[in-house]
Structure 1
Amino acid sequence: MKSYTLLFIVIAAVAVAQTSAKFQLRTHDDAEKAFEECREEFNVPDDIYEKYLNYEFPAHRRTNCYVKCFVEKLGLFTENKGFNEKAIISQFTAKNTKDLESVRHGLEKCIDHNEAESDVCVWANRVFSCWLPINRHVVRKTFA
């Protein structure tokens, strides 16, 4: 059993390394810049913005498109392709492969390809808001 676990970790590390070649990992500064640019674009009120800074995205008329903007600026989402699962895995496991299981579990549970044909902002927020509670600790640690 241990050899399978080790093999899985090695394969995951190789996959992360390959993805990292295409996807550029984002830093704390990148996240801060995305937060601020999206705030300006969607004119987010101060009290709601403070929650966003803590990776809490409450129901608000600005939240759906703010989240879409944020994940786009981080290179995790595009309108045409949706969420880039490889980029998400790379971004949130590059520093710590111990988080791989949590990140993958969240993706398996939450990723959809907008079969409901929702507005793109609704789609981005629906998936991210499903994935985030499972991985909020990973996101905070990554962008700390």
Structure 2
Amino acid sequence: TKDDALKAHEECHEEFQVPDDIYEQYLDYQFPEHKLTNCYVKCWVEKMGIFTENRGFNEKNIVAQYTYENFKNLESVRHGLEKCIDHNEWETDVCTWANRVFSCWLKVNRHVVRKMFT
């Protein structure tokens, strides 16, 4: 829900002490290059229940979370998953992996996320 998303943002903001100007962008679902962005995104997707360090992204949870209010989003959400989900074959650190996949998916679905959470 919108409240869950905001609570997750607030907790990650506190945990990583993100500067306010960067945090404002995060709240708008813009994740600029910044030393804290990768791990902030990992924190947020974990708190939203769509990512774990051991399993990566949970596609069922993503579909459920972003289509429960509007089933019309299903095609866009699934397309983003097909395009972007990986199992960290590059063996990057977990924060980089979480941000890489979520940012890719967000390019396709930013309109969905903003409609639900802002």
Same fold by TM-score greater than 0.5: yes
* Equivalent-residue separation in structure 1 for 2:15 and 2:114 (angstroms): 23
Q: Which residue of 1 aligns with 2:47?
A: 73
Residue 44 of structure 2 is aligned to residue 43 of structure 1: no
TM-score by length of 2: 0.98
1:40 deviates by 0.8
Q: Which residue of 2 aligns with 1:136?
A: 110
Aligned residues: 118
Runs (5+) with no aligned partner, structure 2? none
Q: Which residue of 1 aligns with 2:93?
A: 119
Moved over 6 A (4+): none
Q: Percent identity?
A: 75
Q: Which residue of 1 aligns with 2:7?
A: 33
CA RMSD across the alignment = 0.6
Q: Which residue of 2 aligns with 1:64?
A: 38
* Equivalent-residue separation in structure 2 for 1:70 and 1:92 (angstroms): 15
SS across alignment from 1:37: helix
* Equivalent-residue separation in structure 1 for 2:116 and 2:22 (angstroms): 22
Larger radius of gyration: 1
* Equivalent-residue separation in structure 2 for 1:112 and 1:105 (angstroms): 14
Q: Which amino acid aligns with 1:141?
A: K
1:77 deviates by 0.2
Q: Which amino acid aligns with 2:97?
A: W
Alignment of 1:91-110 (within 5 A): 91-110=65-84
The structure showing larger relative contact order (alpha-carbon pairs under 8 Å, at least 6 residues apart) is 2
* Equivalent-residue separation in structure 2 for 1:126 and 1:67 (angstroms): 9
Q: Which residue of 2 aligns with 1:84?
A: 58
Q: Which amino acid aligns with 2:69?
A: K
1:52 deviates by 0.3
Q: Which residue of 2 aligns with 1:53?
A: 27
SS across alignment from 2:29: coil
Q: Which amino acid aligns with 1:49?
A: Y
